[in-house]
Structure 1
Amino acid sequence: MPKLKTSKAIAKRFKVSSSGKFLRHKASKSHLLQKKSSKQRRYLSSTCQVDSRDIKNISINLPYL
């Protein structure tokens, strides 16, 4: 069986935690930050878990993580 290719676009966007869960960054942190409060900007900086409905698609594209 041939090697599976890793999707580099997905590999840059997701990380795997030590317990094996997928982590992602929150959206809306790239621009237009002046109008957002510092509390909201701090909240958007944190990482969160990927929803269970999306894990299958991510794990297919990241076969060696």
Structure 2
Amino acid sequence: MPKMKTHKGIKKRVKKTGKGKLKRKKAFNSHLQTKKKAKRKRNLSKDTLVNDTHAKKYKHLLPYE
């Protein structure tokens, strides 16, 4: 049986934590910053965990990570 291929798009966007959960960046932080409040921009810059509904699918796409 051949090796499974890692999905490069997910590999660039998601990192594994020490306990095996998946960590990602938040969206809506790349431009149009002037209309956003400082608190909102600060919270958007923090990482967050991938939802459990997506995590199972993403882990399948990252077989060797």
- Normalized against structure 2, the TM-score is what? 0.94
Partner in structure 1 of residue 29 of structure 2? 29
State the identity as a percent.
45
Partner in structure 1 of residue 50 of structure 2? 50
After TM superposition, give the deviation of residue 55 of structure 1 in Å: 1.1
After TM superposition, give the deviation of residue 44 of structure 1 in Å: 0.2
Q: How many equivalent residue pairs? A: 65
Structure 1 residue runs of 5 or longer lacking an equivalent are none
Partner in structure 1 of residue 7 of structure 2? 7
> Quick one: distance in 2 between partners of 1:61 and 1:33?
33
Which consecutive aligned stretches of 4+ in structure 1 deviate over 4 angstroms post-superposition?
Answer: none
After TM superposition, give the deviation of residue 3 of structure 1 in Å: 0.8
More helix by share: 2
Structure 2 residue runs of 5 or longer lacking an equivalent are none
Task: Look up the equivalent residue of 1:16 and give its one-letter code.
Answer: K
Deviation by residue 1:5-56 (Cα, 9 ceiling, x = unmatched): 0111110000000111001111100111110011111100001111111111
